[in-house]
Structure 1
Amino acid sequence: MNIFEKFYDETEKANVRFVGFSTEDIRYDFGIVYSHMFFGKPLVICMQTGRSALLDSEDLEDLDHLRQAFHLESIIQAKSLADFLKEAIPSIPLNTQYD
């Protein structure tokens, strides 16, 4: 008896970038997985905490979302992270994965 319904099972060669940087008060270590899945949103993974989020350029405008996703202490830290990620995450059209 099958107890689950599989929605997708895809394999792709993804481009992954690892980057570490610091601001005046915090160090960041991230892995960024660029994929065609999930509407083309890169998967951003904090290597220190394991927290991750699918983010695109529009998501980077929501500083509260970034602060909550990565458990940052302040909006200032979220702004610093958003400023960095704006250079690392391309502005791309939505992928039509689910059409």
Structure 2
Amino acid sequence: MDLFEKLYDEMEGVKVRFVGFTTNDTRYDFGIVYTNMFFGKPLVVCMQTGRSTLLDSKDIEDLDHLQTVFRIRTKEEAADLAEFFRDNIPSSPFETQYE
């Protein structure tokens, strides 16, 4: 273990929400991990593909980002997903994680 310099090793009791839903074209299954880490951004995991990202209210509005990270085929599907996240990802003020 001498090869690695530990940056952090935190244990935290977190709240996790699992949600599945459908739109007109697609089924989605997500795990949303609410944590104090990562500047307060929730970790969103697609349970179908294992792809994940940290999302805040600004990230949700970036349809290209959602389309890329979750490999969504169309802008319309990305817009549907953004609408879901707008209602389910809390907007939180930026907080400094490292002091």
Q: TM-score, normalised by structure 2?
A: 0.96
Percent same amino acid at aligned positions?
A: 63
Distance 1:50 1:41 in 2: 18
1:89 maps to 89
Amino acid at match of 1:52: S
1:69 maps to 69
Aligned length: 99
Deviations 1:28-84 (A, max 9, x none): 000000000000000000000000000001100100000000000011111100100
Report matched runs for 1:1-99 at 5 Å. Answer: 2-99=2-99
The alignment partner of 2:10 has SS state of coil
Shift of 1:95: 2.1
Which runs of 5 or more structure 2 residues have no equivalent in the other structure? Answer: none
Residues 36 and 95 of structure 1 are in contact (CA less than 8 Å); yes or no, is this contact kept in structure 2? no
Q: Give structure 1 regions of 4+ aligned residues with deviation exceeding 4 angstroms.
A: none
The alignment yields a C-alpha RMSD, in angstroms, of: 0.9
Distance 2:57 2:28 in 1: 19
Q: TM-score, normalised by structure 1?
A: 0.96
